[in-house]
Amino acid sequence: MKNPPQNQSPLKITRFDSCDSTNRLLLAAAEAGEPSGSVFIAREQVSGRGRRGRHWLAAPGESLTFSLLWTFEPEPARLTGLPLVVGLAVVRALALLAAERVDGVQLGLKWPNDLLLARAEGSYAKVGGVLVESVLRSSAHGQKELAVVIGVGLNCGECAEIKQQVSDQQVGSLSELWPDHVSSAQIFDAVVDQLIIDLSAFRERGFAAFSEAWNAVDLWRNRFVQICEQGTVLQEGFCRGVDADGALCIETVSGIKRIVSGDVSLRKV
């Protein structure tokens, strides 16, 4: 693992054989003063959390689940693009992880926080997700800061048990990307290294510096999609990627609509 930037404390990694949720534990630790740069990683999560209150499924030995604590100025509006930056960091890290790749399999993103595989035959499968939560606290210098817990869940192995439990979407594995075995430890080191780089840049420059790179790996870009909430179609049109603020842009018959809420489902039609 690389050395952290000069303005960031060295990583403090705490490992759990089993826990309910690394995000929940690290949020509680953040409120108690846990330093920025702390990482909680678990071999097994029994109550992992996903976006919109969903339960995140993870298989021991087949999944990688960890949470990273990072601090920012107490300006939540500036952090709207943070989940997108985290997803992009994962894609960037894994693109450099192994020299050989399986032909026809591409790792990319779906707004706002899904990591997907695009397979050669045209199907898509979810291989990971991001959950960002935060708490306002006092820094060591007595000023207010936003302690942000970034949770990452990745399917590294076959995850047959998860595939049996999920019926509303295809489940894939990062192992489909490479002809040779890549361990979850290798994936963890690569992803955390890239996160340190990109989070430091995001803190200084915001999401605008990442929007072009994010759009380049957006698997839904230029496809006809529907924006739905609780089964109701809110918007439909062509997905045109994200703007400099991280909002999803949908080209509808009445013009470009910006989607900023994370409580909607993006469906390819």
Distance in angstroms (rounded) separating the CA atoms of residues 91 and 44: 23
CA distances from 84 to 102, 149, 156, 193 (A): 25, 14, 20, 17
| Bigger pLDDT: 48 vs 46 | 46
Give the model confidence (pLDDT) of 146-171 as tens digits. Answer: 999 999 999 987 765 655 555 567 88
- Identify which has the larger pLDDT, 47 or 237: 237
pTM of full prediction above 0.85: yes
Q: Report angle CA 100, 152, 72 to the nearest 5 degrees.
A: 120
Q: Identify the band that residue 7 occupies on the pLDDT scale cut at 50, 70 and 90.
A: very low
User: How far is Cα 147 from Cα 49, in angstroms, rounded to an integer?
Assistant: 18
Q: Give the residue carrying structure tokens 């918007």.
A: 235
Q: What percent of the chain has pLDDT over 70?
A: 85
Q: 4 or 107: whose pLDDT is higher?
A: 107
Average pLDDT over residues 39-65: 71
pLDDT over 50 at 215, yes or no: yes
Q: What is the model's pLDDT at position 6?
A: 41
CA 140 to chain centre: 28
pLDDT at 262 over 70: no
Q: Is the pLDDT of residue 113 over 60?
A: yes
- CA distances (Å), 90 to each of 51, 82, 98, 231, in order? 17, 13, 14, 30
Give the mean model confidence (pLDDT) for residues 181-185.
Answer: 92
Share of the chain above pLDDT 90, in %: 67
Overall average pLDDT of the 247-263 stretch: 90
Q: List CB contacts of 40: < 8 A, sequence separation 6 or more.
A: 14, 16, 19, 22, 25, 26, 29, 66, 67
Residue 233 neighbours by CB under 8 Å, 6+ apart: 226, 227
pLDDT of 230 higher than 90: no
Measured in degrees and rounded to the nearest 5, phi and psi for residue 263 equal -100, 35
